[in-house]
Each structure stands twice: as structure tokens, then as C-alpha cells.
Amino acid sequence: MVPHLVTALTGPINELEQRILESTPVIERWFRLEWMEHTPPFYCSVDVRNAGFKLAPVDTNLFPAGWNHLTPEMIPLAVQAAMAAIEKICPEAKNLLLVPENQRDSFYLSNLATLQKIFYMAGLNVRLGSLSNEITEPTRIDLPDGGHVTLEPLQRGKRRLGLKNFDPCTILLNNDLSAGVPGILEELHEQYLLPPLHAGWGTRRKSLHFKAYEEVSKRFGKLLGMDPWLINPLFAQCGQVDFEADAGLECLRSNTDALLTKVRRKYKEYGINEKPFVVIKADNGTGGMGIMTVRDAKDIDKLSPKTKARMATVQAGQAVSEVIIQEGVLTHERINSAVAEPVVYMMDRYVVGGFYRIHADRGEDENLNAPGSSFVPLAFEQSAQLPQPGVKPGASVPNRFYMYGVIGRLAMLAASYELEATDPEAENLD
Amino acid sequence: MVPHLVTALTGPINELEQRILESTPVIERWFRLEWMEHTPPFYCSVDVRNAGFKLAPVDTNLFPAGWNHLTPEMIPLAVQAAMAAIEKICPEAKNLLLVPENQRDSFYLSNLATLQKIFYMAGLNVRLGSLSNEITEPTRIDLPDGGHVTLEPLQRGKRRLGLKNFDPCTILLNNDLSAGVPGILEELHEQYLLPPLHAGWGTRRKSLHFKAYEEVSKRFGKLLGMDPWLINPLFAQCGQVDFEADAGLECLRSNTDALLTKVRRKYKEYGINEKPFVVIKADNGTGGMGIMTVRDAKDIDKLSPKTKARMATVQAGQAVSEVIIQEGVLTHERINSAVAEPVVYMMDRYVVGGFYRIHADRGEDENLNAPGSSFVPLAFEQSAQLPQPGVKPGASVPNRFYMYGVIGRLAMLAASYELEATDPEAENLD
């Protein structure tokens, strides 16, 4: 379920929010039935933007880091969800192998320490197996908070992956495989490898995700009797763009123009006095790389060489050729004066917490996942102890975070559809 | 999992506690495997006593009230657990019928409002169907906190139970059936009735529960390589006691004497300088009725007429003839100067929270579940954000409440064994 957390937005609850809050039993039952048919991703984080008139996911991460930003109160929720997940996958498991990114900054390592703690409390011995060639023996790294992590070299047998004297039942990836799938992770048929390899950015495309999300939002819109656009960012895509060679920019321009026209029409329909914008992103990119905001299609003709170079490659040096053009969703949330967007964390089918990503130097129509961003934990709402008279049980305090949890889970459901569609083993069955 | 809560006891962690804290992954895996073989009771609360040298359950309630004493931070844990429970039992459910005790005090009604909120957030329409003849139409009762509950008359069809225009998939009892099983709840084969009727005090016996717990504690003791007595209160029973007619008191006296001797021997073995005592309770009693503390078998000859009358009947006027004599477990916990005992709340297989029951006028060897008791919520531990250097992940702060959650779950597992043994449908299979 969704923890009752304080959100930054304190304005009145609008019609969309009211509709979601009123429909809790209907929504929860709908999710329950969906999860009977579809397997949730093992874990997931979703960036959500609340423009007031519109509430939508803008990024869905299937290898979430940042678990260290959850408050201590949220950890039991994560542990309970981890227990539920493990019980379904491998109830007899003693050992879990966690395979991290090859990053050494202390924020990321604190994230690993938190994940290790969560799965330890859920009843597993957890060790970290590094894909890095630099890790040739167990390497202890101390953390600023006094804790530490120990990275160990992976040991690959013919059929199993593990560490020295450590044979796991389940291997949990916290590495988004941006550089492709390393051979050491292939052909592991005896162990559970989660998330599956095709959840990595070698296979994933944002456009596939948002295509699946469009379907989810239509079904959800029908359930609640509302326009799915209120929760769905429109998008278009271009398959052959080369920023540095100025190739394929015509596709980008015409699609941007068409998308801005569509959004303008929607704004007019709802009487919204905002200037529409789109966000152009690498279709296979993550970590906030290869992203730009465009307010007018003509701007694409005027890209600076610096911007072009920045757009041309994403993490792990992968070249960008496929591009998604997505309707921009303003964020009206502020913490002090900084623009903020909520990030919702889920494990198994459960929302376990979240925090705000804030960026002091960015505008409300810009990507916040960029150097200079920081994180503000969400606190539990205290006023839940004081229900307001005359309101029905369970709805006594408007719980804005509940809506973020609903939107986060809709994106997680879309990820589940997406992974089904791209599953190489499912294709073999056709 | 077990929320990281502040407990009243701040003394050093002793050997037993250390053993439990160190064994988290082993313990959690053991529970995981047990729950593959046995179905947890739907919900459950367990009174735990921590004597320092010994940590044991003293009462296991299968129809727990007091959910209103959980803090707002614990509600999401309860909701998540409720979602997991409902998903297993009746995933398509829209409606849940809650059948309460015929109590009208506002604490109990606040408990109902909290349960209603938890299941509403888990995705169910929840309504309250009263067994009371006084409820002949929907009756709204306002609560001191500004909320309210509405009690409605039950409507029994040939095969189903519900309310007017309300047909539930699941019926949840929050009524311990002390007065026996009302006919209106019998022969409901189309709906899920939880907990089952044989969990009511018409069938339940404390001695059966503690017999099952003895078995659980032996297996757990073997797992951790420790003496099961450290978590198991010894007991004896007498089947034919009539306090008012002075009949069967010889059985009580000899069993009390034998039990005190056994406990004295154990105290000597462990070098414990405390005076042993036993607690004599009605074998089918609840709500703190029909209970007395005895320090010497001779005291049984000197019972006052008032005490005899008090012991002779329990709630709903049921006469007492079967009696359990249980090793008393001191509580060394204090809140301010009042004696306190933790109560652990569970739903499905999960510990979702707890609080302290305190009683200013009672001693450390007396029952605290009595008029005049009050409740102190447990708060989340903040120091979890500051792990101590040099300790292993997940074990950085001694989490005393974790141990209470382990003991609570052992008692819950015993209740599961107990319900299997008393299941009338299982007997038919023999």
C-alpha cells in the first residue's frame, strides 16, 4: 500500500486528484486483478510530475538506486515487500547475490548498503558481486555514515554465478546494463536473475514503455471515467537521428511540431494557460543523459554544437540514434524555492516510499535528474491521527502521496506489459 | 517484517537477545518455510513479557482489538499485509463484512474504525454487521476523534450472510465468540469466514495453544541451539475445577506446587535470584478475566470468597471448570514507573506494529490486561539513520522490538498449529 506521506504541494485537491482519492477500493481491486495476470517487476522507481491539471510519470527505472534516500520509517515497508517477493520467487533461498553498477561514489554505495540491509532483514545473506575487472579480491569500502560495503569478484561456473563459497538462489541486478549484457550473466538457467536481462537498456526503449503506459492509462481512464490524457504524456518517436551529422532532424522537427499542436489543443480544451513544451530524450538512455527541453519546433534548427554533442551519446558511451519526443509535464511542486518532483519507490507490487528530487538551478519544465540535484525525504503525515469530522473512513485526510503511488504503480504495470512484450523466451513460443 | 520500534527496556542486550538478533536470516528463512506448510491466522495479537533472562508470549488473541493504538506510521504496514492476505484469500473481492463484538465503548469502536480504514486502503468496501439484537437499522455512532462508525443489522440468506444491498466475499470476525457460535454464522460455505469458527473461545483452550507453542519453541530452540525454556512458559492444567464449590482445588494445588518446583530448578540452573510464581487462568477465558497470580501452592487454600467468585466465571458469563496453571514471566519493562508489557500486532504472516500495555497499580508479576490499563504507542527508532561503525549491515542498532516480533510470530505459528489440530473439517478426513 501507499504510505501516508507529506507532499510538497499544499494547494487544493483538484478534480483529477479527487477522483483518484474517492476511488481507492475500485483502484486497489483493479491492481489486484492486474497482478493476477501480470508479474510486477522485482523493483522499480518512477519519476512523477504533478502539473495540477495533469499527473503523469516521466521516467520508469527498473534498476532503481537511491534506496538510501528512503527514511528509516519506510524500511519496514520495503522489507515486508521484499519478503513477499522472495516468498514467491524462491522461498527456500538462503543467499542473494546483488550485482551493482561499477560506480564508487558514496551515495551509490550507500544505496547498496541499504538494499543489503533490506534483504538481510527479509531473511537472506546478501553479498555484492562486482562486474568490474578492478575487483579481483574482496574489497571493503567504508561509507561516510560509518557503515561499509564489500565488493567481491564474481565467479562463473558452467551453469551458475556466485562468489567464492557463496552460491545464491537469486541474483538481483542493480545495474541497468547500459553497455549491453556481459557474457558472465548469460545462460544462467538454474538461478533466478532479476530483473531479467531484457529489462536492461540494451533492449529497453522508452517509447515501448510509454506505448504500454498509454494502453494502461486508457484502461485506467475507462475504469474511473476520465480522459486518459490527464495521466498520460503524449509522445512520438524518430528512429534515425544523428545529432552530430545533422541527420534525421527533419523527423524531429515535424514530430515536435505535431506533438506541440496536439498538446496545445488539449490545453485549450481544459482552459490551461501554460505554454506547451516537449522533452526530447534518447530512446535507450537513462541517468538523465541525452535530454533536452524544446518549446518551439524551430528551436531544433538552432541547436548549439555543444547541445548536439550532449544529445549524441548517453551513458556507457552508447550512440543515440533512436529518439523519443515526449509531451512535457510541468511540475508545480516546490521545496523552498527549488523545483521538485516526487520519485515513487516500489518493490514487488507495493509502494514502499519515496522522496523528492529537487534542483535549485532548473526550471519547472526541465529535467531534474542532472548534476546538482539533491534529495529530500518524504515524511509521514502526522495529521492522520486527527481525522476530519464528517468525512468517510480512510479518506479523512487528503493523501496526495496516495495519487503518486497510484501513478507510480500504473507505470510499473506498464513496465510489466513492456517486459512481457520484449521477453525473448515468450517470442520463441510464437 | 518487523518495524524498528523503540522499546521501553534500555538495559544491555543479553545472551538470548543477542542470539536472536544475530540469527535474522536464519530465523526469517525458517518462518518462510513454516508458512509454506502452515496457514497463518488472518490476524493476531500477542502479549509478550521480557524478564531479561526469559522472553515469552503469555497470551495470543485471534480476534485482536486495539488496532486504534497503532501509530499512523504503522498503518501502511498493516495495509500492505492486508493486501497480501486478501490477495491470497479472495483477490476478486469488492466487499468485506466486519462482524464486531457487541461493545459500544469508544475505544473499541475506534478500533473498528481503524480496521475499516485498513481494509478500505487495501481495496475493499468495508461495512459493519452487528450480531446485537439492538441493531435493527443502520446506526451511526460518532467517535471522540470526529470520525464515526455505522453498525448495521446482519441479513442471513440460505447460504450467505450480508447486509442490505451488501454481499461480501469475505466475513471478518472481530468477535471472539465467547458466548459460543451464533447460528447466523453457521453453514456459510460460499463465503470466506475468517478467522474460522473454531478459533472462537467456544472451542479454543489456552492449554492447547501453549501445547502447540511448546512444540514450536522446541523446534526454534533446536534451530538456534538454545534451551527452549528461555522462550517457553511451562504450564499444567486441571480439567474439573469448581471454585465456588471448592471442588478440584487439590489438582490445582498439586500442579501449582509441581510447576513452582520445576521453575525453581530452572532459576537455579541459570542463577536467577527471583521468586517464581504461577498464573492461574481459565482455560477458555479472554479479556483478562478469571486470572490470578500465585506464589505458593498453600495460597490456594486461602482464596477469599471474592477471588473465588471472580475466578468462577469469565466473559459472557461462561462458567470456568478447565484451568491452566502457567509459569509466570516477570516483566522488567517500565514506562515511567508503571509496569509495561509489549503487545505485538500481526496480520497475515507480517508483524505490523505494537504498543505497550501499562498498568500503574499492578506489580511486575501480575496480569496487566485489567481495568485501569492504558496504552502507549511504540515509536519508530530514529537512530537507525546512524549505524554504528564496525557492525554488520542490518544489525547496526540493537533492535529489541525485532525479538518481540520473533516471539510474537512463534506464538502466531503455534496458533496456526492449534487451528489445524482443532479444525472440525480436518477431523472428518481421519
CB contact under 8 A, B28 and A389: no
The fraction of chain A above a pLDDT of 90, given in percent, is: 62
DSSP-assigned beta bridge partners for residue B393: none
Where is average pLDDT lowest: A235-239, B162-166, B311-315? B311-315
CB contact under 8 A, A1 and B381: no
Does the structure show a pLDDT above 80 at B74? Answer: yes
Q: Where are the beta strands (DSSP E) in B242-393?
A: 278-282, 291-294, 323-327, 334-335, 338-347, 350-359, 374-377
Distance from CA of A408 to the nearest CA of B (A): 16
Helix and strand totals (H; E) in chain B: 9, 18
Nearest CA in chain A to B143: A389
The CA distance from B365 to B363, in Å, is 5
The CA distance from A271 to A379, in Å, is 34
- Which class is B72-202 in CATH? alpha beta
Chain A residues inside the 8 Å CB shell of B35: 87
Question: Which among A36, A81, A94 has the least Cβ separation from residue B80?
Answer: A81
Which helix (H) or strand (E) element contains residue A377?
strand A374-377
Contact A32, B124 (CB under 8 A): no
Question: Which among A122, A145, A388 has the least Cβ separation from residue B386?
Answer: A145
pLDDT in tens, B174-206: 999 988 899 999 999 999 999 999 999 989 999
pLDDT in tens, A345-399: 999 999 999 999 888 788 888 887 777 788 887 766 544 333 343 444 434 345 7
CB contact under 8 A, B1 and A124: no
Which residue, among A70, A73, A142, A151, would best test binding to B if mutated, counting the most B CBs under 10 Å from its CB? A73
| pLDDT attached to residue A396 | 39
**Nearest by Cα to A97 from A115, A78, A80:** A115
Distance from CA of B345 to the nearest CA of A (A): 14
Q: How many CB atoms lie within 10 A of CB B298?
A: 11
Q: Exposed, middle or buried, A372 (CB in 10 Å: 0-12/13-18/19+)?
A: exposed
| pLDDT attached to residue B365 | 82
**Which grid coordinates are listed for A322?**
533512436
pLDDT in tens, A70-103: 988 888 999 999 999 999 998 999 999 999 999 8
| pLDDT attached to residue A395 | 40
CB contact under 8 A, A146 and B389: yes
Task: Compare B3 and B208 and report the one with higher pLDDT.
Answer: B208
Q: How many CB atoms lie within 10 A of CB B206?
A: 25
| pLDDT attached to residue A9 | 66
Does the structure show a pLDDT above 80 at A287? Answer: no
The CA distance from A137 to B169, in Å, is 57
| pLDDT attached to residue A301 | 86
Cβ-Cβ contacts under 8 Å between A and B: the total is 165
Question: Which among A27, A32, A393 has the least Cβ separation from residue B117?
Answer: A393
How much is the average pLDDT of B266-294?
86
The CA distance from B283 to A160, in Å, is 54
The CA distance from A173 to A181, in Å, is 11
Chain B residues inside the 8 Å CB shell of A399: none
Chain B residues inside the 8 Å CB shell of A35: 87
Chain B residues inside the 8 Å CB shell of A28: 83, 121-124
Q: Exposed, middle or buried, A301 (CB in 10 Å: 0-12/13-18/19+)?
A: exposed
**Nearest by Cα to B400 from B364, B354, B366:** B354
Question: Which among A145, A380, A393 has the least Cβ separation from residue B73?
Answer: A380
Helix segments in B204-290, DSSP class H: 206-224, 249-269
Q: Exposed, middle or buried, B328 (CB in 10 Å: 0-12/13-18/19+)?
A: buried
Distance from CA of B76 to the nearest CA of A (A): 5
Which residue, among B106, B121, B148, would best test binding to A if mutated, counting the most A CBs under 10 Å from its CB? B121
How much is the average pLDDT of A95-112?
95
Does the structure show a pLDDT above 90 at A418? Answer: yes
Chain B residues inside the 8 Å CB shell of A1: 76, 79-80, 82-83, 121-122
pLDDT in tens, B314-356: 666 667 788 999 999 988 888 877 888 899 999 999 999 999 9
Amino acid in position A253: R
**Nearest by Cα to A47 from A62, A59, A55, A56:** A59
The CA distance from A13 to B17, in Å, is 48
Q: Exposed, middle or buried, A222 (CB in 10 Å: 0-12/13-18/19+)?
A: exposed
Which residue, among A121, A148, A169, A351, would best test binding to B if mutated, counting the most B CBs under 10 Å from its CB? A121
| pLDDT attached to residue B317 | 67
At B301, the pLDDT band (50, 70, 90 cuts) reads: confident
Exposed e or buried b for every residue in A259-268, given b needs 16+ CB within 10 A?
Answer: bbeebeebbe
Chain-wide mean pLDDT for chain A?
Answer: 88
CA triple A93-A99-A102, angle to 5 deg:
165
Question: Which among B1, B24, B32 has the least Cβ separation from residue A76?
Answer: B1
Nearest CA in chain A to B399: A121
Chain A residues inside the 8 Å CB shell of B395: 120
Distance from CA of A98 to the nearest CA of B (A): 14
Does the structure show a pLDDT above 70 at B129? Answer: yes
| pLDDT attached to residue B193 | 96
| pLDDT attached to residue B5 | 62
Distance from CA of B404 to the nearest CA of A (A): 15
Cβ partners under 8 Å of residue A223, min gap 6: A23, A26, A27, A30
Does the structure show a pLDDT above 80 at A59? Answer: yes
pLDDT in tens, B203-230: 999 999 999 999 999 999 999 999 999 9
| pLDDT attached to residue B316 | 63
What is each CA distance from B139 to B52, B299, B384, in whole angstroms?
48, 49, 46
Q: Exposed, middle or buried, B425 (CB in 10 Å: 0-12/13-18/19+)?
A: exposed
How much is the average pLDDT of A166-182?
94
Long-range contacts: A233-236, Cβ < 8 Å, 24+?
A233/A56, A233/A57, A233/A58, A233/A326, A233/A327, A233/A328, A233/A329, A234/A259, A234/A262, A234/A263, A234/A326, A234/A327, A235/A207, A235/A210, A235/A259, A235/A324, A235/A325, A235/A326, A235/A327, A236/A324, A236/A325
How much is the average pLDDT of B38-50?
95
**Nearest by Cα to A343 from A288, A401, A287:** A401
Chain B residues inside the 8 Å CB shell of A4: 72, 75-76
The CA distance from A324 to A281, in Å, is 5
Does the structure show a pLDDT above 70 at A298? Answer: yes
Exposed e or buried b for every residue in B245-263, given b needs 16+ CB within 10 A?
Answer: eeebbebbbebbbebbeeb
Chain B residues inside the 8 Å CB shell of A32: 83, 86-87, 91-92, 123
Chain B residues inside the 8 Å CB shell of A121: 1-2, 24, 28, 394
- Which class is A68-202 in CATH? alpha beta
Nearest CA in chain B to A71: B385
| pLDDT attached to residue A275 | 93
Does the structure show a pLDDT above 90 at A406? Answer: yes
Contact A355, A66 (CB under 8 A): yes
Nearest CA in chain A to B87: A32
Chain A residues inside the 8 Å CB shell of B394: 116-117, 120-121
Chain A residues inside the 8 Å CB shell of B124: 25, 28-29
| pLDDT attached to residue A240 | 85
* 3 state SS of A303: coil
| pLDDT attached to residue A344 | 95
Distance from CA of A100 to the nearest CA of B (A): 17
| pLDDT attached to residue B430 | 47
Contact A59, A264 (CB under 8 A): no
Nearest CA in chain B to A1: B80
Which helix (H) or strand (E) element contains residue A175?
none
Distance from CA of B353 to the nearest CA of A (A): 10
Nearest CA in chain A to B382: A72
| pLDDT attached to residue B248 | 84
Q: What is the CA radius of gyration of chain A?
A: 22
Longest Cα–Cα distance of chain B, Å, equals 65
| pLDDT attached to residue B4 | 62
CB contact under 8 A, A1 and B25: no
Nearest CA in chain A to B380: A73
How much is the average pLDDT of B64-88?
92
Chain B residues inside the 8 Å CB shell of A77: 76-77, 80
The CA distance from B123 to B89, in Å, is 14
pLDDT in tens, B5-19: 667 666 666 788 888
Q: Where are the beta strands (DSSP E) in B360-419?
A: 374-377
At A285, the pLDDT band (50, 70, 90 cuts) reads: confident
CB contact under 8 A, B24 and A81: no
Distance from CA of B397 to the nearest CA of A (A): 12
Amino acid in position A425: E
Chain A residues inside the 8 Å CB shell of B36: 91
**Which grid coordinates are listed for A187?**
545462460
Distance from CA of A366 to the nearest CA of B (A): 32
| pLDDT attached to residue A6 | 67
CB contact under 8 A, B87 and A396: no
| pLDDT attached to residue A288 | 60
Which phi and psi (to 5°) does residue B209 adopt? -65, -45
Contact A49, A407 (CB under 8 A): no
| pLDDT attached to residue B427 | 57
Nearest CA in chain B to A116: B393
Domain ranges, ordered by start, for chain A: 15-65+205-422, 68-202
Distance from CA of A93 to the nearest CA of B (A): 7
Kindly list the strands in the beta sheet with A148-153, ordered across the sheet, starting from the edge strand earlier in the chain: A139-142, A148-153, A125-130, A95-100, A170-174, A192-194
Which residue, among A28, A381, A382, would best test binding to B if mutated, counting the most B CBs under 10 Å from its CB? A28
How much is the average pLDDT of B245-266?
92
Which helix (H) or strand (E) element contains residue B194?
strand B192-194
How much is the average pLDDT of A164-176?
96
Where is average pLDDT lowest: A169-183, A247-261, A323-337? A323-337
* Residue with cell string 547541445: A307
